[in-house]
Structure 1
Amino acid sequence: MFPFICIFASKMKKLVIISLMLCWMLSLSAQFLNSGDTIAIISPSSATDTATINGGIQTLEKWGYPCIVAPHALADYHGFAGTIDERLSDLLWALRTPSIKAIMCSRGGDGAAHLLSRISLDTLQQYPKMIIGFSDVTALLCAQARAGVMGIHGSMCHALKTYEGNDTVSQALRGMLAGHLPTYRIAPHPLNITGKAEGIIVGGNMSVFNNLAGSDFDPLFIDGIVLFIEDTGEGMSKVDRMLHNIEIRGLQKHIRAVIVGQFNKYKHPENGFDDMYALLNEYLQHWHIPVCYNFPVGHAHLKNFPLLTGAKATLEVNPDEVVLDYNNSH
């Protein structure tokens, strides 16, 4: 066990303290990595560049994981990293190659959902390898969760290149890859709704998983979830429609708790609300479940701590702190 503390400035201009207690989880160890395991680098979304991929590889190999780059990871087809068939072939290659133990996405952007029309839940179940990424990669993580497979919502090659793997967020990802799962403790927020719930961690970029609505890959079809949400550059009116979509389909009944991450680069005030959290609260306060605001997950690397998707965790929202713990749920 090796605890550490990190501090960051929140939107409220206060310091939020997060303590992470990292513990070895034997019950989930099958998908985690050992030193020397190979990680494949794929680009399922927008096109990227050699420097970004090489920077991520440098950090991963420093951590003890040799990397192999997918054949089309550097392709560029109308802004995507290759055609749909090329990006799909890279994903299937990484899943089916026995020597590859995990898959890191080079970046997000747009286009990962294209692959889901040509892949099945059965295929994802057959090859239960962790996919690592966030933003547009939310589509793949939600598909894995629907297949009962764990993934990591966390930093990709760009952030690993920028920070060289030395920051607290990167070190948390390093621990999670090896099966050292965190207990996150964060400061309270005025809009928090107290309570305790256990469920399967799913979610990510709100606009991405909203576009999966009604499909086999819709994460809101999973009963008993702890839903985490974040977004960037989406207007408040669009987020309002996403929340209404959840309610009109009656799927809030599947949600045991909500973790509200970082929402940035949006225009406000809008729709009569001062900010995005006020809009979210207009809905979430009526769901009668625990809600945590200002969790460090989203489109800002130093506020994007890794979450193990598809795994059970316990969220406890208290007046004085919020605790998210994987270690007591298995």
Structure 2
Amino acid sequence: MIKAQALKKGDTVGIISPASPPNKENLKRSLSFLEKNGLSYQFGKHAQDEYGYLAGRDEDRAADVNSMFADEGIQAIICACGGFGTARMASLIDYELIKKNPKIFWGYSDITFLHTAIRQNTGLVTFHGPMLSSDFGEEKGVLPLTESYFQQLFDGSGITYDESISPLEIMTEGEADGELVGGNLSLLASSLGTPFEIDAAGKLLLIEDIDEEPYAIDRMMNQLYSAGKLTEAAGIVVADFHNCVPQKRKRSIPLDEVLAHYVALSGKPAMKGFKIGHCSPNIAVPLGTKAVMNTKTKTLTIQSGISGV
């Protein structure tokens, strides 16, 4: 396990778009959030490129990732937004470079594929958290609670998620510990059978998604279950499934029932209700560091993902 150094006032953040093009107005608006936290910023060369639903060609988006990790003047890398396409260029990332130059890497949604690829090829702890254009730049603003979890990058604080943040529901009783891994369910399912397949063995597996109908969630959960990912995990952390409601099909199994079915098949401790993912608040958590989930106390305790504090 490798942890990046904590941020301090005056540090420079590299801004990249490894997936889809960011909303430029939102991105511009989000820069005040970095400035408010005493940070400078530098855009990747291709951070505002557009190539259909991608923020530039695969080689260019990968080049931005590599160059930000190589640049000694950059202390953290934050993704502008998610969308589509990180899996296309995961094989173009220089993982040995990242291992030699560990830095804070922050994002979620489609960025899940990069979280998994980076962690499993380098050991670097990364951060599943709200992004610039898609979250911090929204015209409606961001909840103070969402913003507050950015401070873990400065003070190296761990996280204790309990019902003071959101109501939590026990799905299967028990206590489980291990590295917290996972993220967006669609991306986790798409990693199966690739060199970047999610390793869930002995780990707490976090899942979340957006705009997927229950039948699609069913298919992806079945894929994870059939691949042994749910049964080999130490526990399952069910985060936010935003707008995952029936649309094409009027007749549907309720989403809660779909999730409960596969959690029960796993036989592992599980809780749901975590405001992590495409939701507000959006609680940022480190991936790859040690965590403990206890259904008796209804807590998820996560060690700091930062060193040097």
Shift of residue 273, structure 1, vs aligned partner: 5.6
Aligned twin of 2:187:
208
Aligned pair 1:133/2:107, yes or no? yes
The amino acid of 1:248's aligned partner reads S
What pairs up with 1:31-46 in 2 under 5 angstroms?
31-46=5-20
How far did 1:309 drift?
A: 0.7
Tell me how far 1:240 sits from its aligned partner: 1.5
User: Do the aligned residues in 2 keep the contact of 1:230 with 1:262 (CA within 8 Å)?
Assistant: yes
The aligned counterpart of 1:83 is: 57
How far the C-alpha of 1:55 sits from its partner, in A, is: 2.0
Partner residue in 2 for 1:5:
none
Aligned counterpart in structure 2 of residue 324 of structure 1, from 300, 303, 307: 300
Deviations 1:63-119 (A, max 9, x none): 011111111111111131111111111111101101111100101111111121222
**How far off is 1:130 after superposition?**
2.0
8 Å contact kept, 1:175–1:181: yes
Pick aligned residue for 1:150 from 111, 125, 131: 125
Structure 1: state its 5+ residue gaps.
1-26
Which residue in the other structure is 1:237 paired with?
A: 215
In the TM superposition, residue 243 of structure 1 has moved relative to its aligned partner by 1.8
Aligned residue number for residue 297 of structure 1 = 276
Alignment-derived partner of residue 48 in structure 1: 22
Q: For 1:1-330, what aligned pairs fall within 5 Å after superposition?
A: 30-146=4-120, 147-158=122-133, 159-162=135-138, 167-186=144-163, 189=168, 192-219=171-198, 221-268=199-246, 274-300=253-279, 302-318=280-296, 321-327=297-303
Is the contact between residue 47 and residue 80 of structure 1 (CA under 8 Å) also seen in structure 2?
Answer: yes
Higher relative contact order (CA 8 A, sep 6+): 2
* Aligned AA (1:322): K
Change (3 A) 1:214 1:113: same
TM-score, normalised on structure 2? 0.88
Q: How many Å apart are 1:286 and its aligned residue?
A: 2.4
Once the two structures are TM-superposed, the CA of residue 212 in structure 1 deviates from its matched residue by 1.0
Moved more, 120-129 or 66-75: 120-129
Deviation track 1:127-170 (CA, whole Å, cap 9, x = no partner) reads 32221111111111111221311111111113212366661111
**C-alpha RMSD over aligned residues:** 2.5
Q: Take 2:304 and 2:67, find their aligned partners in 1: how far apart are those partners?
A: 35
C-alpha distance in 1 between matches for 2:303 and 2:56 = 40
Q: Equivalent residue of 1:227, what SS?
A: strand
- Corresponding letter in the other structure for 1:183: T
Q: Deviation of residue 53 (structure 1)?
A: 2.2
SS of the residue 2:179 aligns to: strand
Determine helix, strand or coil for the equivalent of 1:285. Answer: helix
Instruction: Give the conservation status (yes or no) of the 8 Å contact 1:273–1:279.
Output: no
Q: CA deviation at 1:183?
A: 1.0
- The Cα of 1:45 is off from its aligned counterpart by 0.9
Q: 1:90 to 1:327 in 2, by over 3 A?
A: closer
Asked whether the equivalents of residues 202 and 233 of structure 2 are also in contact (C-alpha less than 8 Å), the reply is yes
Quick one: which amino acid aligns to residue 57 of structure 1? L
Note if contact 1:184-1:325 (Cα within 8 Å) is conserved in structure 2.
yes
CA distance in 2, matches of 1:120, 1:278: 41
Q: Structure 1: how far apart are the matches of 2:197 and 2:266? A: 20
- Unaligned runs of at least 5 residues, structure 2: none
Could you tell me which amino acid in structure 2 is paired with residue 156 of structure 1? Answer: M
SS in 2 for 1:315: strand
Letter in 1 for 2:266: W
State TM-score, norm by structure 1.
Answer: 0.83
Name the stretch that deviates more: 258-267 or 92-101: 258-267
Q: Is the 8 A contact 1:313 1:328 kept in 2?
A: no
Paired residues, number: 300
In the other structure, the counterpart of 1:4 is: none
